[in-house]
Chain A
Amino acid sequence: MKLDRFLTGSLLSGGLLLSSYGFAGEQIMVDKAEYEQLKAAVKLLMEESKTSKQAVQDAQQAASEAAASAQAASKEAERVAERGRAAPKKVASTGGRISGNEFNPAISLILDGRYTDIDNSDLELPGFQLGGEAGLPDNGFTTGHNELVISANIDDKFYGALTAAIVYDEGETEFELEEAYIETLGLGHGLTLKGGRFFSGIGYLNSIHDHAHDFADRPLVYDALFGGHLMETGLQARWVAPTDFYLSFGAEVTSGSEFPGGENDNNNGLGFFVKTGGDINESSSWQLGASYYTTDFDVREAGGHSHGHGDDEADNELLDGDVDIAGIDFVYKWAPNGNPKQTNFKFQAEYFVRDEKGHAEFTEGLNSAEADYDGEQEGFYAQAIYQFMPAWRVGVRYDHLEADNRFINFVDNGIDLDEFLEESGLGTVDDPNRTSVMLDYTPSHFSRIRLQYSEFDNGLDDTEDMITLQYIMSLGSHGAHSY
């Protein structure tokens, strides 16, 4: 087919060339003999094209015959095999057909939909300026985080993956790039480099996408300190030590511009993490990690995805900021004889402490207030999940946050301290905490239906109840989940 097209193309361009000769007639006189010569040449070319076409058809015929006989051969091989004789090295393929589809990357689509019963879906966590994707679901039916994941080994040296979230929110469809990175495969010596946009390797849950979490919402500490996940654009290096037990180190240099960082000129984000773990016995295993993240920035705009807020022209900024976060994470898993199919148990807990400094400015219309701010905020969650029979799991989680924010040099330009503390989100009241229980049903690897109940006390208002019924379904190839 290609040859065919090529010949037609060359004929056409030959024709064009001829006609351009003709139209340029005033300068270049084409005499009759030359014209005849060209005509003959074209005729010859057309003849050649005909014979080539025939050749192509013949080749196609031969190829399809070969494919058919190969198919027959592979069927025969299978028959031989079924009689119990191993036919060495004969892959049961459908013949020598070359199809570009074989090299398509693994594509998986995760559908997430939910019904939520909630009175107030504005997330407020006094003492914490919110950013990123921190928020609560809307009341009623919503589609959640539908994710498209495309990944493949690029060649023998690189792996690449892209994860995009398709979110429908208040009448608009948003397409958010969560991850788009490449990673080395064969660097050796335990070393792996990653570049692009990715979920930072800090903590345990940070690099795990929401659809693989065990609850319908993220732990509060992730929403409060990282705006959901710490997303980064930059470089990551990981090294696994050649030891009998698992020990790995990671470092990241990133733009540092995503929440809790902000605009800066120097790629100020720096992250470090170390993980270790092992088996206690055949049935149980554990992993322990420690991580640290720091960035500093010129400006950070606070206020995340909070839905349904009034459109007041408020401006809530942190200037000349400096953020440091340290954390530890622990996971323990148990399954009888290490076989999680029937029953299994998982405990996980993470603790983070954030230290941030900066100049806080809150402006509303012509009024404003500002202060130098120095805050120390911490939070943890602990959760346990038990699969009591195949496909059925129950889980419980407790979330807790605590903030200690200090201010000096307060300036009142029409907004007093109380209002500033409330509006900027930096004023502390009581410690927010939340208790959640869930039950989920996972008939196969590809589908899950979950019912969750949470009792949330943000330290400000009355306790709020939330009930969520959620489905998470995965279409297409489904990559392995990390430990």
Chain B
Amino acid sequence: MRIQIIAAALAALLTVSMEAQAKLNVFACEPEWKSLAETLGGEQVKVTSATTAFQDPHHIEARPSLIAKTRRADVLICTGSELEIGWLPLLLRQSGNGSVQEGQPGYFMASEQVSRIEVPQQMDRSMGDIHAGGNPHVHLDPHRLLTIAQAFSARLQALDPDHMDDYQGRLENFEARWLTAIESWEKQAVALKGKKVVVHHKNWSYLLNWLGVEAVADLEPKPGIPPTSSHLVSLLQVTKAEQPEAILVAAYQDDKGARWLADKSGVPLVRLPFTVGGNEDAGDLTSLYENTLSLLLSAVNGS
């Protein structure tokens, strides 16, 4: 009897792992890469995301469930540039999965496919949580995103050559849609050019550079250091002098500091999705950009 139960359990385990092997298992570190992998991989891939839009990708725990997922992954798609340094190296070491280790074809770091801005000239911890490789939050620049999509599709094609044509077809479809979308977004974004905003962490830099919007203040006194009351007070003066259009907060961020500043200065607080799933409208990459733009535009038009 006992042997039968064990045999049944083993059989169940095997079926689970066999089924998984039919598709390419993609482990995405953040929701934006999950969405990209789904778009480019279609029915050939099974994608899981390590984080949600309500989690700070800098700080999550290397949970047991994530070790199990890393163990079964055929390819990782993560931001890189040290964004996940607090947990990804640990997942890799504990997973015992040879195909997703650094340097393997199954290891894909999105931000390392494109140039990065804000590369520090000097590294010192007193400067806060800075990344030697530059600002890793590249996914809100649509041009960089396209380059990343091309590189990731090439990776999928190399890993799963049987479906090369499928991947290529999806990429071409995506490129066409994306380029049209960029054109229309850039037309809308003309209204945002030269406007000023207050940010909470440097995770908007690529978006703001693309849109030509200037960040006049940061709620964090140093990258990664939560807002302090003295810093907020000093921001109040900057805000009054610079007259920004909005205070930007990501879905995963605590808005206590931002709310205080918004109340005192009258500048509206705008909670942006930051990534796919950050609000109800941002269901995929395209709607993430559309929603972000429309929220920014309505903030500018409202004031």
Interface residues of A (CB under 8 A from B): 77-78, 80-92, 153, 156, 159, 183, 185-192, 238-248, 275-279, 282, 285-287, 333, 337-342, 390-391, 443-446, 475, 479-483
Cβ of B16 < 8 Å from any Cβ of A?
yes
Q: Among B16, B54, B114, which residue has its beta carbon within 8 angstroms of that of A87?
A: B114
Q: Among B96, B147, B150, B254, which residue has its beta carbon within 8 angstroms of that of A239?
A: B96
A84 adjacent to B141 (CB under 8 Å)? yes
B115 adjacent to A247 (CB under 8 Å)? no
Taking CB as reference atom, which chain A residue is nearest B53?
A337
Cβ of B252 < 8 Å from any Cβ of A?
yes
Given A480-B89, A483-B61, also A185-B98 (CB < 8 A): yes
Shortest beta-carbon distance, A38 to chain B, in Å?
Answer: 53
Task: List B52-74 residues whose CB lies under 8 Å from chain A.
Answer: 52, 54-56, 59-65, 67-68, 71-72
- Rounded to whole angstroms, the CA-CA distance of A446 and B17 in the bound complex is 40
Shortest beta-carbon distance, B261 to chain A, in Å?
Answer: 17
Q: Among B52, B94, B101, B116, which residue has its beta carbon within 8 angstroms of that of A482?
A: B94
Taking CB as reference atom, which chain A residue is nearest B134?
A92
A338 adjacent to B54 (CB under 8 Å)? yes
A483 adjacent to B147 (CB under 8 Å)? no
Q: Which among A248, A333, A339, A445 has the highest number of chain B CB atoms within 10 Å? A: A339
Q: Among B65, B103, B144, which residue has its beta carbon within 8 angstroms of that of A278?
A: B65
Cβ of B209 < 8 Å from any Cβ of A?
yes
Shortest beta-carbon distance, A334 to chain B, in Å?
Answer: 11
B64 adjacent to A285 (CB under 8 Å)? yes
Cβ of B104 < 8 Å from any Cβ of A?
yes
B62 adjacent to A84 (CB under 8 Å)? no
B119 adjacent to A279 (CB under 8 Å)? no
- Rounded to whole angstroms, the CA-CA distance of A242 and B25 in the bound complex is 12
Chain A residues lying within 8 Å of B254, measured Cβ to Cβ, are: 341-342, 390
Chain A residues lying within 8 Å of B64, measured Cβ to Cβ, are: 245-246, 275-278, 285-287, 483
Q: Among A77, A189, A285, which residue has its beta carbon within 8 angstroms of that of B65?
A: A285
Chain A residues lying within 8 Å of B115, measured Cβ to Cβ, are: 77-78, 80-81, 86-87, 90-92
Task: List B138-163 residues whose CB lies under 8 Å from chain A.
Answer: 141, 143-147, 150-151
A188 adjacent to B96 (CB under 8 Å)? yes
Taking CB as reference atom, which chain B residue is nearest A277?
B64
Q: Show 17 A/B contacts (Cβ-Cβ < 8 Å), sorted by A.
A: A86-B115, A87-B115, A88-B151, A91-B115, A186-B98, A186-B101, A186-B104, A188-B99, A189-B98, A240-B94, A243-B16, A246-B64, A339-B56, A339-B59, A341-B56, A480-B86, A481-B90
For the complex of A and B, 4 pairs with smallest distance between CB atoms: A277-B64, A188-B98, A246-B64, A186-B98
Cβ of B190 < 8 Å from any Cβ of A?
no
Taking CB as reference atom, which chain B residue is nearest A84?
B210
A190 adjacent to B97 (CB under 8 Å)? yes
Taking CB as reference atom, which chain A residue is nearest B116?
A92
Chain A residues lying within 8 Å of B92, measured Cβ to Cβ, are: 185
Given A338-B55, A390-B226, also A446-B146 (CB < 8 A): no
A82 adjacent to B143 (CB under 8 Å)? no
Taking CB as reference atom, which chain B residue is nearest A475?
B125
Chain A residues lying within 8 Å of B55, measured Cβ to Cβ, are: 337-339
Q: Among B60, B96, B145, B209, which residue has its beta carbon within 8 angstroms of that of A192?
A: B96
- Rounded to whole angstroms, the CA-CA distance of A187 and B68 in the bound complex is 16
Given A91-B112, A243-B16, also A279-B60 (CB < 8 A): no
Q: Which among B128, B226, B252 has the highest number of chain A CB atoms within 10 Å? A: B226
Cβ of B13 < 8 Å from any Cβ of A?
yes
Chain A residues lying within 8 Å of B119, measured Cβ to Cβ, are: 78, 92
- Rounded to whole angstroms, the CA-CA distance of A4 and B134 in the bound complex is 38
Shortest beta-carbon distance, B302 to chain A, in Å?
Answer: 25
- Rounded to whole angstroms, the CA-CA distance of A38 and B165 in the bound complex is 71
- Rounded to whole angstroms, the CA-CA distance of A192 and B96 in the bound complex is 5
- Rounded to whole angstroms, the CA-CA distance of A166 and B221 in the bound complex is 35
Chain A residues lying within 8 Å of B212, measured Cβ to Cβ, are: 84
Task: List B228-261 residues whose CB lies under 8 Å from chain A.
Answer: 252, 254
A279 adjacent to B63 (CB under 8 Å)? yes
Cβ of B8 < 8 Å from any Cβ of A?
no
Taking CB as reference atom, which chain A residue is nearest B85?
A480
- Rounded to whole angstroms, the CA-CA distance of A255 and B2 in the bound complex is 36
Taking CB as reference atom, which chain B residue is nearest A340?
B59
Cβ of B95 < 8 Å from any Cβ of A?
yes
Chain A residues lying within 8 Å of B44, measured Cβ to Cβ, are: none
Chain A residues lying within 8 Å of B116, measured Cβ to Cβ, are: 81, 92
Taking CB as reference atom, which chain A residue is nearest B72?
A242
Cβ of B7 < 8 Å from any Cβ of A?
no
Chain B residues lying within 8 Å of A278, measured Cβ to Cβ, are: 64-65, 68
B210 adjacent to A238 (CB under 8 Å)? no
Chain B residues lying within 8 Å of A246, measured Cβ to Cβ, are: 64-65, 67-68
Given A341-B56, A480-B89, also A84-B68 (CB < 8 A): no
B117 adjacent to A78 (CB under 8 Å)? yes
Taking CB as reference atom, which chain A residue is nearest B54?
A337
- Rounded to whole angstroms, the CA-CA distance of A483 and B112 in the bound complex is 27
Shortest beta-carbon distance, B282 to chain A, in Å?
Answer: 16
Chain B residues lying within 8 Å of A92, measured Cβ to Cβ, are: 115-116, 119, 134
Shortest beta-carbon distance, A278 to chain B, in Å?
Answer: 5
- Rounded to whole angstroms, the CA-CA distance of A188 and B143 in the bound complex is 36
- Rounded to whole angstroms, the CA-CA distance of A391 and B144 in the bound complex is 35
Cβ of B102 < 8 Å from any Cβ of A?
yes
Chain B positions 31 through 58: 1 when the CB is less than 8 Å from some CB of chain A, otherwise 0: 0000000000000000000011011100
B68 adjacent to A245 (CB under 8 Å)? yes
